[in-house]
Amino acid sequence: MSLSASAVMTLIMLFGTGFIKYLPVPILTSIVISALLGAIEFDLIKRLFKLDKKELLIFFGAFFGVLVFGTVYGVMTGVILSFISVIVRTADPKRSFLGVISGHEGFHSLERNTYAVPLKRAVIYRFSGNLYFANINTFTSEIESAITPDTECVVVDSGAICNIDITAADRIASLKSQLEKQGIKLYFASHIGTLNDRFRQLGLGYLVEEGFCRMTIPSALLSAGILPPYETASVPKNSTASRKRLEFEWAFGSMTDDELEKYTQELLSRVNGPDDANSQLQKIIGAGELWKGISEQDQEELLSHISIHLKELADKLNIDEAQVEEAIEMRKLLLAHDLESKDPELFRLVKEHSRRIENELKEKDPKLYESLLKHRRNALNSLRQKRPEYNKLIETMYGKEI
C-alpha cells in the first residue's frame, strides 16, 4: 500500500501539478483543512482526558509544537516530553514495605493490606523499578528510615529490578557498609539472574558470592536466622486506619470503598419484591452463590456495608428492620466463629478493623451510627435468647456493654 501511494504521488507531482494552479484558493484551503482534521485524533483526546491527564499534556505539547514550529520540531517536542515523563515515573516508582498476613502465604504490602503486619527483626522492602542516579536516594533513605533497634536484616524484594547504574551500585555498597556497622545484613531476593551479572560488572559481586543475593525472600530470611512461623511486630492501633480490606483491597487499592459499595448495591438489586422474603434475605447475606470467591474477611466487611442499607433492604423485602439486622448479626457470628477457630490472630485483626470502621461511621454520620447501634443491641439480645451458645462470642466481639 505504501509503495502504491508513493508511486501515485510521484505521478501527480510530475504530471498533475499543472492542473492544481487552476483551483481556487478556497478549494485548496479546504483540502488542507480537511487533511489536518483527519490527522487530529479527537477520540484519543477524549480517552486521554478520561484516563491519563499527563499523557494528554504531552499530546497537546506535540500538537501546538507542530502548529507553532512545524512538523519536525513538533514531533521532537512530543518525543522530549515523553522522555521527561518516563524519567519522572522511573525516578519515583511504586514501592512498599512488606509483611505477612496470618493464614495467607507470601508477603504483602503493609500499605495496601489491612491485615498485613511487619516482621520482628526484619525489614522487607519492595522496589518496583530499575535503580539509577535519579531514584537511588529514595531507595536508600526509605530503608534507613525503616530501621528499628531490633532490626537484624533488610531484605529487598528486587523482583522488579532488572538493572542498576554505577551510581546506584556505589550507593548500595555504601548502604551495606553502613548497615553492617549496625549489625544489620542487607539481602536482595527474588530478582532475575541477569541482575547478579550486573552486580558483578559494577563491583558488587561479593553480594552474590557471600550469599546476600537469594532466589526467594524466605531463603534470605533463613540465611539471616529468621525462621517461620515468623514473629510479627506489634502495630499501633491507628497505623492501619487508612487501610481497608483483603482481596477487594488487593484488587482495587484506594477504590476499595467504592467497589464494596457497588457490590453491595449489586446484592441489593437482586431483591425482586417481598415474595419469599426470608429466602431472598438469606441469599443476600447468607454467603451463598452470590458471595462466591469472597474471603471471610471481605464477607464481614460486606455485611457492614449491608447494615448501612438496613432500611432500604427491609423496605424492599417488606419485613421489619429488626429481622434483617438479626440475620446480619447471625451471619457475622458464624463468620467470627469460623475465624476464631481457624486463626485467632486473624480474628483479632478483623475485630479491630470492624471497630475502626464503626468509629469512622460514628464520626461521619452519628445519627446513622446510633440507629444501627440500637438495631444491633436488639438483634443481639434476641440472639442471646435463641442461640445461647454464642453468648461468649458476642461478648468477645462487642464487649459487655452491648
pTM of the full structure: 0.59
Answer yes or no: do 249 and 360 share one domain.
yes
- pLDDT score of 244 more than 80: no
- The reply to whether 109 falls in a domain is yes
Q: Looking at the 3D structure of the chain, how many domains does it have?
A: 3
Assigned domain for 231 exists: no
Quick check: is 162 in a domain? yes
Same domain (yes/no): 126, 262: no
Query: Is residue 391 located within the same domain as residue 258?
Result: yes
pLDDT bucket at 144, cuts 50 / 70 / 90: very high
β-partners of residue 188 are 156, 213
* Assigned domain for 14 exists: no
Q: Is the pLDDT of residue 235 over 70?
A: no
What per-residue confidence (pLDDT) applies to 245? 47
Q: What is the pLDDT of residues 14-47, one digit of tens each?
A: 887 777 778 888 888 888 888 777 777 778 888 8
Range of the domain at 324: 244-398
Q: Do 208 and 291 belong to one domain?
A: no
On whether both 301 and 383 belong to a single domain, the answer is: yes
Mean pLDDT of 74-96: 88
Residues paired with residue 116 on neighbouring β-strands, in sequence order: 101
Least confident of 117-121, 139-143, 318-322: 318-322
Are 353 and 291 in a shared domain?
Answer: yes
Residues 312, 216 within the same domain: no
What is the residue type of 11?
L
